[in-house]
Protein backbone atom coordinates (compact mmCIF):
# COMPACT_ATOMS: atom_id res chain seq x y z
CA UNK A 1 0.00 0.00 0.00
CA UNK A 2 2.09 2.86 -1.26
CA UNK A 3 1.39 6.45 -0.49
CA UNK A 4 2.18 8.41 -3.60
CA UNK A 5 1.21 11.81 -2.31
CA UNK A 6 2.39 12.67 1.16
CA UNK A 7 -0.62 14.15 2.90
CA UNK A 8 0.88 17.61 2.66
CA UNK A 9 2.48 17.25 6.07
CA UNK A 10 4.33 20.44 5.55
CA UNK A 11 1.26 22.50 4.81
CA UNK A 12 -2.17 22.44 6.36
CA UNK A 13 -3.84 19.17 7.16
CA UNK A 14 -5.76 17.43 4.45
CA UNK A 15 -9.46 18.16 4.43
CA UNK A 16 -11.48 15.27 5.82
CA UNK A 17 -13.42 13.23 3.28
CA UNK A 18 -16.43 11.03 3.57
CA UNK A 19 -14.07 8.15 4.22
CA UNK A 20 -12.76 9.84 7.33
CA UNK A 21 -16.26 10.48 8.54
CA UNK A 22 -17.14 6.87 7.90
CA UNK A 23 -14.20 5.63 9.91
CA UNK A 24 -15.08 7.82 12.85
CA UNK A 25 -18.74 6.86 12.77
CA UNK A 26 -17.93 3.20 12.31
CA UNK A 27 -19.85 2.81 9.07
CA UNK A 28 -18.95 2.50 5.42
CA UNK A 29 -18.19 5.46 3.20
CA UNK A 30 -21.27 4.68 1.20
CA UNK A 31 -23.48 5.10 4.22
CA UNK A 32 -22.02 8.51 4.81
CA UNK A 33 -22.87 9.31 1.22
CA UNK A 34 -26.41 8.21 1.87
CA UNK A 35 -26.74 10.45 4.87
CA UNK A 36 -25.31 13.34 2.92
CA UNK A 37 -27.87 12.97 0.21
CA UNK A 38 -30.77 12.35 2.51
CA UNK A 39 -31.42 8.96 1.03
CA UNK A 40 -33.94 6.68 2.68
CA UNK A 41 -33.04 3.36 4.25
CA UNK A 42 -30.63 4.67 6.83
CA UNK A 43 -31.43 3.88 10.43
CA UNK A 44 -32.10 6.99 12.40
CA UNK A 45 -29.50 6.07 14.98
CA UNK A 46 -26.84 5.64 12.30
CA UNK A 47 -27.82 8.89 10.63
CA UNK A 48 -27.30 10.79 13.85
CA UNK A 49 -23.96 9.13 14.51
CA UNK A 50 -22.76 10.05 11.03
CA UNK A 51 -23.93 13.62 11.37
CA UNK A 52 -22.14 13.90 14.67
CA UNK A 53 -18.96 12.62 13.06
CA UNK A 54 -19.30 15.13 10.23
CA UNK A 55 -19.62 17.95 12.70
CA UNK A 56 -16.70 16.73 14.76
CA UNK A 57 -14.38 16.60 11.78
CA UNK A 58 -15.69 19.76 10.19
CA UNK A 59 -16.52 17.74 7.15
CA UNK A 60 -17.45 19.59 3.99
CA UNK A 61 -18.58 17.76 0.89
CA UNK A 62 -16.22 17.97 -2.06
CA UNK A 63 -18.10 19.31 -4.99
CA UNK A 64 -15.41 18.53 -7.52
CA UNK A 65 -15.60 14.84 -6.75
CA UNK A 66 -19.33 14.94 -6.80
CA UNK A 67 -19.35 16.65 -10.16
CA UNK A 68 -16.82 14.24 -11.57
CA UNK A 69 -18.89 11.28 -10.53
CA UNK A 70 -22.30 12.54 -11.46
CA UNK A 71 -21.41 14.63 -14.46
CA UNK A 72 -23.41 17.48 -13.02
CA UNK A 73 -21.89 20.47 -11.31
CA UNK A 74 -24.95 22.09 -9.75
CA UNK A 75 -23.64 25.29 -11.17
CA UNK A 76 -25.08 27.65 -13.71
CA UNK A 77 -23.06 30.12 -15.71
CA UNK A 78 -24.13 33.62 -16.55
CA UNK A 79 -22.73 35.58 -19.43
CA UNK A 80 -22.83 39.27 -18.60
CA UNK A 81 -21.73 42.26 -20.53
CA UNK A 82 -19.37 43.66 -17.99
CA UNK A 83 -21.19 46.83 -17.27
CA UNK A 84 -22.43 48.29 -14.04
CA UNK A 85 -25.62 49.54 -15.67
CA UNK A 86 -28.75 49.47 -13.61
CA UNK A 87 -30.64 46.90 -15.66
CA UNK A 88 -27.91 44.27 -15.91
CA UNK A 89 -26.86 44.71 -12.29
CA UNK A 90 -30.37 44.42 -10.99
CA UNK A 91 -30.99 41.40 -13.11
CA UNK A 92 -27.82 39.70 -11.93
CA UNK A 93 -28.81 40.19 -8.33
CA UNK A 94 -32.20 38.70 -9.06
CA UNK A 95 -30.58 35.76 -10.79
CA UNK A 96 -28.31 35.00 -7.89
CA UNK A 97 -31.09 35.22 -5.37
CA UNK A 98 -33.41 32.99 -7.35
CA UNK A 99 -30.75 30.47 -8.21
CA UNK A 100 -29.57 30.03 -4.68
CA UNK A 101 -32.98 28.93 -3.57
CA UNK A 102 -32.83 26.14 -6.12
CA UNK A 103 -29.52 24.80 -4.83
CA UNK A 104 -27.49 25.86 -7.82
CA UNK A 105 -24.56 28.16 -7.57
CA UNK A 106 -23.49 30.83 -9.94
CA UNK A 107 -20.45 31.45 -12.09
CA UNK A 108 -20.25 34.66 -13.99
CA UNK A 109 -18.18 35.71 -16.91
CA UNK A 110 -18.18 39.03 -18.66
CA UNK A 111 -18.12 39.74 -22.33
CA UNK A 112 -16.24 42.94 -22.43
CA UNK A 113 -17.23 44.91 -25.44
CA UNK A 114 -14.82 44.12 -28.20
CA UNK A 115 -13.51 41.15 -26.28
CA UNK A 116 -11.91 38.36 -28.22
CA UNK A 117 -14.52 35.88 -29.17
CA UNK A 118 -17.31 37.85 -27.59
CA UNK A 119 -20.20 35.78 -26.40
CA UNK A 120 -18.88 32.52 -27.80
CA UNK A 121 -15.60 33.00 -25.99
CA UNK A 122 -17.42 33.61 -22.74
CA UNK A 123 -19.57 30.55 -23.26
CA UNK A 124 -16.52 28.43 -23.97
CA UNK A 125 -14.98 29.67 -20.75
CA UNK A 126 -18.05 28.59 -18.82
CA UNK A 127 -18.19 25.19 -20.47
CA UNK A 128 -14.64 24.53 -19.45
CA UNK A 129 -15.45 25.49 -15.89
CA UNK A 130 -18.28 23.03 -16.01
CA UNK A 131 -21.81 24.32 -15.79
CA UNK A 132 -25.16 22.58 -16.09
CA UNK A 133 -26.82 25.47 -17.86
CA UNK A 134 -26.08 28.88 -19.24
CA UNK A 135 -27.85 32.19 -18.94
CA UNK A 136 -27.30 34.92 -21.47
CA UNK A 137 -28.06 37.93 -19.40
CA UNK A 138 -28.13 40.73 -21.91
CA UNK A 139 -28.19 39.38 -25.43
CA UNK A 140 -26.43 41.56 -27.91
CA UNK A 141 -25.70 41.04 -31.54
CA UNK A 142 -22.02 41.11 -32.26
CA UNK A 143 -21.59 40.81 -35.96
CA UNK A 144 -18.36 38.88 -35.63
CA UNK A 145 -19.76 36.16 -33.44
CA UNK A 146 -19.58 32.70 -34.80
CA UNK A 147 -22.71 30.64 -34.15
CA UNK A 148 -22.73 28.95 -30.79
CA UNK A 149 -23.62 25.30 -30.54
CA UNK A 150 -24.23 24.05 -27.05
CA UNK A 151 -25.18 20.73 -25.55
CA UNK A 152 -26.68 22.10 -22.38
CA UNK A 153 -29.83 24.16 -21.84
CA UNK A 154 -29.70 27.89 -22.30
CA UNK A 155 -31.81 30.68 -20.96
CA UNK A 156 -31.70 33.94 -22.80
CA UNK A 157 -33.18 37.28 -21.87
CA UNK A 158 -34.33 38.17 -25.31
CA UNK A 159 -33.97 36.75 -28.80
CA UNK A 160 -30.59 35.42 -29.72
CA UNK A 161 -30.18 34.14 -33.26
CA UNK A 162 -27.08 32.18 -34.06
CA UNK A 163 -27.47 30.10 -30.95
CA UNK A 164 -28.41 26.47 -30.91
CA UNK A 165 -28.84 24.27 -27.89
CA UNK A 166 -30.82 21.21 -26.89
CA UNK A 167 -33.31 23.51 -25.30
CA UNK A 168 -33.48 27.22 -25.63
CA UNK A 169 -35.55 29.15 -23.19
CA UNK A 170 -36.49 32.77 -23.27
CA UNK A 171 -37.74 35.21 -20.76
CA UNK A 172 -37.70 38.93 -20.19
CA UNK A 173 -40.01 41.84 -20.54
CA UNK A 174 -41.81 42.79 -23.68
CA UNK A 175 -39.65 45.69 -24.76
CA UNK A 176 -41.60 46.24 -27.92
CA UNK A 177 -44.87 46.74 -26.12
CA UNK A 178 -43.11 48.87 -23.56
CA UNK A 179 -41.72 51.12 -26.27
CA UNK A 180 -45.18 51.38 -27.72
CA UNK A 181 -46.67 52.20 -24.34
CA UNK A 182 -44.24 55.03 -23.74
CA UNK A 183 -44.84 56.46 -27.18
CA UNK A 184 -48.59 56.19 -26.95
CA UNK A 185 -48.55 57.96 -23.63
CA UNK A 186 -46.82 60.93 -25.23
CA UNK A 187 -49.02 60.89 -28.32
CA UNK A 188 -52.03 60.75 -26.05
CA UNK A 189 -50.91 63.98 -24.46
CA UNK A 190 -51.38 65.70 -27.78
CA UNK A 191 -47.87 65.69 -29.16
CA UNK A 192 -47.75 65.56 -32.94
CA UNK A 193 -44.91 63.09 -32.83
CA UNK A 194 -42.34 61.63 -30.48
CA UNK A 195 -38.57 61.67 -30.85
CA UNK A 196 -36.49 58.75 -29.71
CA UNK A 197 -33.12 58.49 -28.06
CA UNK A 198 -32.35 54.84 -28.58
CA UNK A 199 -29.96 52.49 -26.81
CA UNK A 200 -27.07 50.90 -28.67
CA UNK A 201 -28.63 48.88 -31.44
CA UNK A 202 -26.39 45.91 -30.83
CA UNK A 203 -28.62 45.24 -27.86
CA UNK A 204 -31.81 43.45 -28.70
CA UNK A 205 -33.61 45.26 -25.90
CA UNK A 206 -32.70 48.56 -27.52
CA UNK A 207 -33.89 47.41 -30.92
CA UNK A 208 -37.19 46.23 -29.53
CA UNK A 209 -37.88 49.47 -27.72
CA UNK A 210 -37.19 51.27 -30.95
CA UNK A 211 -39.53 48.95 -32.79
CA UNK A 212 -42.28 49.66 -30.28
CA UNK A 213 -41.78 53.38 -30.71
CA UNK A 214 -41.88 53.01 -34.47
CA UNK A 215 -45.03 50.88 -34.35
CA UNK A 216 -46.83 53.36 -32.17
CA UNK A 217 -45.95 56.26 -34.43
CA UNK A 218 -47.07 54.34 -37.50
CA UNK A 219 -50.31 53.28 -35.86
CA UNK A 220 -51.06 56.89 -34.98
CA UNK A 221 -50.09 58.16 -38.38
CA UNK A 222 -47.43 60.34 -36.83
CA UNK A 223 -44.29 61.23 -38.77
CA UNK A 224 -41.17 59.34 -37.74
CA UNK A 225 -38.30 61.64 -36.82
CA UNK A 226 -34.70 60.48 -37.17
CA UNK A 227 -33.42 58.29 -34.35
CA UNK A 228 -30.59 59.35 -32.09
CA UNK A 229 -28.55 56.46 -30.74
CA UNK A 230 -26.79 56.54 -27.38
CA UNK A 231 -24.81 54.03 -25.34
CA UNK A 232 -27.09 53.86 -22.28
CA UNK A 233 -24.92 56.32 -20.36
CA UNK A 234 -25.95 59.82 -19.31
CA UNK A 235 -23.25 61.48 -21.38
CA UNK A 236 -24.66 60.08 -24.59
CA UNK A 237 -28.12 61.22 -23.55
CA UNK A 238 -26.71 64.67 -23.00
CA UNK A 239 -25.28 64.74 -26.51
CA UNK A 240 -28.61 63.71 -27.96
CA UNK A 241 -30.39 66.22 -25.76
CA UNK A 242 -28.29 69.06 -27.12
CA UNK A 243 -29.39 68.24 -30.63
CA UNK A 244 -32.99 67.85 -29.65
CA UNK A 245 -33.01 70.95 -27.48
CA UNK A 246 -31.85 73.05 -30.39
CA UNK A 247 -34.77 71.88 -32.49
CA UNK A 248 -38.01 73.76 -31.85
CA UNK A 249 -40.01 70.98 -33.45
CA UNK A 250 -39.23 68.66 -30.57
CA UNK A 251 -41.94 68.53 -27.93
CA UNK A 252 -41.82 64.90 -26.82
CA UNK A 253 -38.98 62.47 -26.34
CA UNK A 254 -38.91 58.80 -25.45
CA UNK A 255 -35.51 57.90 -24.08
CA UNK A 256 -34.56 54.22 -24.02
CA UNK A 257 -33.33 54.28 -20.42
CA UNK A 258 -33.39 56.56 -17.42
CA UNK A 259 -29.67 57.21 -17.33
CA UNK A 260 -29.69 58.70 -20.80
CA UNK A 261 -32.85 60.57 -19.87
CA UNK A 262 -30.88 62.28 -17.11
CA UNK A 263 -28.49 63.57 -19.76
CA UNK A 264 -31.38 64.65 -21.94
CA UNK A 265 -32.99 66.54 -19.09
CA UNK A 266 -29.75 68.34 -18.38
CA UNK A 267 -29.23 69.32 -22.01
CA UNK A 268 -32.78 70.60 -22.30
CA UNK A 269 -32.37 72.64 -19.16
CA UNK A 270 -29.19 74.18 -20.53
CA UNK A 271 -30.96 74.96 -23.80
CA UNK A 272 -33.66 76.78 -21.86
CA UNK A 273 -36.36 74.30 -22.81
CA UNK A 274 -38.46 73.60 -19.75
CA UNK A 275 -39.67 70.13 -18.96
CA UNK A 276 -42.53 69.35 -19.14
CA UNK A 277 -43.91 72.69 -20.26
CA UNK A 278 -42.10 72.81 -23.55
CA UNK A 279 -40.82 69.26 -23.87
CA UNK A 280 -42.09 66.01 -22.39
CA UNK A 281 -39.65 63.19 -21.58
CA UNK A 282 -40.29 59.52 -20.85
CA UNK A 283 -37.53 57.23 -19.62
CA UNK A 284 -37.19 53.51 -19.12
CA UNK A 285 -36.21 51.34 -16.10
CA UNK A 286 -37.42 53.41 -13.19
CA UNK A 287 -34.04 53.61 -11.54
CA UNK A 288 -34.18 54.49 -7.85
CA UNK A 289 -33.26 58.09 -8.49
CA UNK A 290 -35.89 58.62 -11.20
CA UNK A 291 -38.38 59.99 -8.71
CA UNK A 292 -35.90 62.55 -7.44
CA UNK A 293 -34.68 64.11 -10.64
CA UNK A 294 -35.53 67.59 -11.81
CA UNK A 295 -38.25 67.08 -12.75
CA UNK A 296 -39.20 63.63 -11.45
CA UNK A 297 -39.13 61.32 -14.42
CA UNK A 298 -42.04 59.54 -16.01
CA UNK A 299 -40.78 56.08 -16.84
CA UNK A 300 -41.51 52.40 -17.38
CA UNK A 301 -40.37 50.05 -14.63
CA UNK A 302 -39.07 46.59 -15.43
CA UNK A 303 -40.01 43.68 -13.24
CA UNK A 304 -36.73 41.82 -13.20
CA UNK A 305 -37.63 39.57 -10.32
CA UNK A 306 -40.61 38.25 -12.17
CA UNK A 307 -38.81 37.58 -15.44
CA UNK A 308 -35.88 35.99 -13.70
CA UNK A 309 -38.05 33.76 -11.56
CA UNK A 310 -39.96 32.48 -14.57
CA UNK A 311 -36.86 31.93 -16.65
CA UNK A 312 -34.87 30.15 -14.01
CA UNK A 313 -37.71 27.90 -13.03
CA UNK A 314 -37.83 26.71 -16.62
CA UNK A 315 -34.09 26.38 -16.88
CA UNK A 316 -33.80 24.26 -13.77
CA UNK A 317 -36.66 22.07 -14.87
CA UNK A 318 -34.99 21.57 -18.20
CA UNK A 319 -31.67 20.69 -16.60
CA UNK A 320 -33.13 18.18 -14.22
CA UNK A 321 -35.48 16.49 -16.63
CA UNK A 322 -34.46 17.24 -20.20
CA UNK A 323 -37.74 16.17 -21.63
CA UNK A 324 -38.35 19.41 -23.32
CA UNK A 325 -41.93 19.65 -22.15
CA UNK A 326 -42.12 22.94 -20.43
CA UNK A 327 -45.24 24.12 -18.82
CA UNK A 328 -46.87 26.81 -20.90
CA UNK A 329 -45.38 30.18 -20.05
CA UNK A 330 -47.61 32.05 -17.65
CA UNK A 331 -48.66 35.39 -18.96
CA UNK A 332 -46.05 38.03 -18.24
CA UNK A 333 -46.82 40.69 -15.67
CA UNK A 334 -48.66 43.67 -17.10
CA UNK A 335 -46.64 46.64 -18.26
CA UNK A 336 -46.77 49.74 -16.15
CA UNK A 337 -46.02 53.37 -16.78
CA UNK A 338 -45.11 55.48 -13.78
CA UNK A 339 -46.28 58.99 -14.48
CA UNK A 340 -44.36 61.68 -12.68
CA UNK A 341 -43.68 65.24 -13.74
CA UNK A 342 -41.60 65.03 -16.88
CA UNK A 343 -44.59 64.66 -19.18
CA UNK A 344 -47.50 67.01 -19.80
CA UNK A 345 -50.04 67.86 -22.45
CA UNK A 346 -48.62 69.70 -25.37
CA UNK A 347 -48.88 73.45 -25.36
CA UNK A 348 -48.56 75.74 -28.30
CA UNK A 349 -45.01 76.86 -28.51
CA UNK A 350 -44.53 80.53 -27.66
CA UNK A 351 -42.94 81.16 -30.99
CA UNK A 352 -45.66 79.42 -32.95
CA UNK A 353 -47.17 82.64 -34.20
CA UNK A 354 -44.17 84.87 -33.76
Partner DNA sequence: GACGTTCCTGACTACGTAGACACATTCTGA
Partner DNA sequence: TCAGAATGTGTCTACGTAGTCAGGAACGTC
**Spatial separation of the C-alpha atoms in residues 131 and 134, rounded to whole Å:** 7
Stretch that binds a second copy, among 43-51, 105-113, 194-202, 335-343 (CB under 8 A): 105-113
For residue 349, state whether it binds DNA (rule: CB under 7 A).
Answer: no
- Please state the closest distance from residue 60 (CB atom) to a second copy, in A: 6
Which of a second copy, DNA, none does 28 bind, CB closer than 5 to 8 A by kind? DNA
**Residues with Cβ < 8 Å from 326, sequence gap 6 or more?**
169, 314, 317, 318
Tell me how crowded residue 185 is: count the other CB atoms within 10 A of its CB. Answer: 21
Is residue 216 near a second copy by the rule CB under 8 A?
A: no
Q: Is the dihedral of CA 84, 88, 92, 93 positive or negative?
A: positive
- Backbone dihedral region for residue 136 (phi beyond 0: left; psi -120 to 50: alpha; all else: beta): beta
> Smallest distance from the beta carbon of 70 to DNA, in angstroms?
5
Q: Which does 353 bind (CB under 5 to 8 A by kind): a second copy, DNA, none?
A: none
| Spatial distance between the Cα atoms of 9 and 1, rounded to a whole number of angstroms | 18
CA distances from 146 to 70, 123, 162, 315 (A): 31, 12, 8, 24
Closer residue to a second copy (CB): 85 or 252? 85
Is residue 125 within 8 Å of 144, Cβ to Cβ? no
Contact between 321 and DNA per CB under 7 A: no
Q: Which of a second copy, DNA, none sits in contact with 17, Cβ below 5 to 8 A by type? A: DNA
Q: Which residues contact 105 (CB under 8 A, 6 or more apart)?
A: 74, 75, 76, 99
Query: Where along the sequence are the contacts to a second copy (CB under 8 A)?
Result: 11-12, 60-65, 67-68, 73, 75, 80, 82-84, 86, 89-90, 92-93, 96-97, 100, 105-110, 112, 125, 127-130, 151, 166, 233-235, 237-238, 259, 262-263, 265-266, 269, 288-289, 291-294, 296, 322
Which residues form the interface with DNA (CB under 7 A)? 1-5, 7, 14-15, 17-19, 26-31, 33-34, 36-37, 40-43, 46, 61-62, 65-66, 68-71
Amino acid sequence: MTEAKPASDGGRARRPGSTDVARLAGVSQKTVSRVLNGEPYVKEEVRLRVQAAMRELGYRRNNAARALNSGRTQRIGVVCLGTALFGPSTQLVAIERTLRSTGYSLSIVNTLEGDTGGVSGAVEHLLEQGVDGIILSEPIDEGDDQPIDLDIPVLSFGRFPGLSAPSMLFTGGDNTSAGRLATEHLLGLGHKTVWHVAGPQRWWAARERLDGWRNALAAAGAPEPPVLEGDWLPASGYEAGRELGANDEVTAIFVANDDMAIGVLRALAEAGRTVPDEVSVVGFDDIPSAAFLTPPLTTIPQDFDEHVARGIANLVTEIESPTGDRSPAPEPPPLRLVIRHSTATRRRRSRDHG
